[in-house]
Structure 1
């Protein structure tokens, strides 16, 4: 077992409290509504939380300072990954209970009811991943829409690639303790964490990813991916991507086909479609589909709508209507 020691994120203190109701209210704002009950004590806590929200993920450290039972039900719109760095917790999900400690992290799925008991010494590193963000990243890797929710294995034994993933988290938290990265850098770090999680932790699409040959891509593929993520709203052609990659067009194309099962320009299209979807689901209303599409380089609206529906399972106008309902 590899021992991971994430920094405390002391530069991002969120709250400290001895009051149960105040603690419940504060934690609910970061995660979700839940029941919080101290066990067998005075009803007082010594709770604290340090937390920072990025674009698509949030990282934090927290402790209740007392033995507590937490019942959030279903998380619904986010995944929650937790690694005890002190103490332990008992997690109950789908009728099964297991112990979480420094040797075993946990990953809670949005659709599974969950209940937790943290012991008095329990302190956890926590990563919240937005459900839409993870599903969109998986859709990009598979180059097809996600028809069913991504369901991960709940336990994460701290060995091999799982421990390496948590090392990435610890490194990110250390960087955030020192400085606030630029938005482009943040997106790159988030994409790295999402992709590595999908390639590391078993889930119901793991076999499909393996069939797609989704291994760690060579440097020239990752360079182009980062460039596309950072410049998706700008005019980009194949010649520009070849220049960014530093290799020939044939080598670049073959690299994307082998490691992403997709061409570089198709990757650009999927990235732009994801950005349109993000804007339609989160930007302030009112919004016009044509305006959003053209902002991300889509001018043939009929073809764009078909591509969007193929990826997200609904038309852009349906996305807007669902949001307004």
Structure 2
């Protein structure tokens, strides 16, 4: 029944018409080809979806055997886990069968073709490409990060099983929260999921992350990172971060020094610098470098410009002119 579907409070559409389903799905993912298979003439398609900043969490089904060909996704990653049925996924040169025991992760730059069974119902997580690259850049100590390419298959064991359980908990929290009034816990899920994905799903950056972190950062470091990401636009003090961490200030500083190579407040500056860059890459009418920098707490503009150039390889004014 519809009431039993994940994220039922965030229903987007329900239709039996192929063109309508294709149009509605394209609005939140990308343009694609959708074909019925096996002589079917109608769908039983539906989709529920909640948007959380740079991440969307949803569930959907087509209710018929279908083939979907989105080509290259371009500006987002798509993670899918069937909780019923199965899907065959061809992604670049790789292939996987998605089931309730093995999810899949689609990269933006590899062409994709999928076949979903009629009974295939999926949890789906859409992650903006820029957001994931920003997160990785922070985990690498501010080094630019581009072209993240993950393994296609996500077997549900160990860390990836926990990752999808977290997605399930997030969906439950969203269903329990009124629209537009998500709890602080919900707002923290986004960063926790990004960090955990980068740490545990094999990718072309896995070796660099392992070398940088010398192991997995302890929970108190990751909790503070998630809090910083969610609250970077607010005044943050070391007392705030210590309170969130649940450990002493000495333990917090040592954790960041050992696993991130910076102090907690330096990490705050790195996150805010990434936010400045995102704003300059997507400027609003009347935006200037000075206005954007001061909005994010950078008042010593000469020092800000030097740090920005060191981090991103160009001046902030060059970024703004490009866009």
Distance 1:123 1:314, change over 3 A: farther
Distance 1:300 1:19, change over 3 A: same
- The aligned residue for residue 123 of structure 1 is 121
Q: CA deviation at 1:208?
A: 1.1
Distance 1:12 1:283, change over 3 A: farther
The answer to whether the 8 Å contact 2:134/2:145 transfers is no
Distance 1:223 1:21, change over 3 A: closer
Q: CA deviation at 1:252?
A: 2.7
| Aligned-partner Cα distance in 1 for 2:255–2:282 | 33
The answer to whether residue 82 in structure 2 is matched with residue 84 in structure 1 is yes
Residue 212 of structure 1 aligns to a residue whose secondary structure is helix
| Aligned-partner Cα distance in 2 for 1:77–1:303 | 32
22-31 or 39-48, which deviates more: 39-48
Superposition map of 1:278-297 within 5 A: 278-282=278-282, 284-297=284-297
Superposition map of 1:188-207 within 5 A: 188-207=188-207
The answer to whether the 8 Å contact 2:49/2:57 transfers is yes
- The aligned residue for residue 178 of structure 1 is 176
Q: CA deviation at 1:317?
A: 2.4
The answer to whether residue 24 in structure 2 is matched with residue 26 in structure 1 is yes
The answer to whether the 8 Å contact 2:91/2:110 transfers is yes
Distance 1:13 1:246, change over 3 A: closer
- The aligned residue for residue 298 of structure 1 is 298
Residue 114 of structure 2 aligns to a residue whose secondary structure is strand
**Post-superposition CA distance 1:19-42 (Å, at most 9, x none):** 111100000001011111111324
Distance 1:8 1:233, change over 3 A: closer
Q: CA deviation at 1:232?
A: 3.1
Superposition map of 1:37-116 within 5 A: 37-116=35-114
The answer to whether the 8 Å contact 1:145/1:310 transfers is no
Residue 203 of structure 1 aligns to a residue whose secondary structure is coil
Residue 284 of structure 2 aligns to a residue whose secondary structure is coil
Q: CA deviation at 1:177?
A: 1.0
Q: CA deviation at 1:322?
A: 3.0
**Post-superposition CA distance 1:88-113 (Å, at most 9, x none):** 11111123332111121100000111
Residue 118 of structure 2 aligns to a residue whose secondary structure is coil
- The aligned residue for residue 3 of structure 1 is none
Q: Which runs of 5+ in 1 are unaligned?
A: 1-5
Higher relative contact order (CA 8 A, sep 6+): 1
| Aligned-partner Cα distance in 2 for 1:296–1:31 | 30
**What TM-score do the two structures reach when normalised by structure 1?**
0.89
The answer to whether the 8 Å contact 2:82/2:121 transfers is yes
Q: Which runs of 5+ in 2 are unaligned?
A: none
The answer to whether the 8 Å contact 1:89/1:100 transfers is yes
Distance 1:199 1:272, change over 3 A: same
- The aligned residue for residue 212 of structure 1 is 212
Distance 1:112 1:256, change over 3 A: same
The answer to whether the 8 Å contact 1:55/1:186 transfers is no
Q: CA deviation at 1:271?
A: 1.4
Distance 1:98 1:246, change over 3 A: closer
Q: CA deviation at 1:115?
A: 0.7
What is the aligned-residue RMSD (CA, Å)?
2.3
The answer to whether the 8 Å contact 1:36/1:70 transfers is yes
Distance 1:37 1:239, change over 3 A: closer
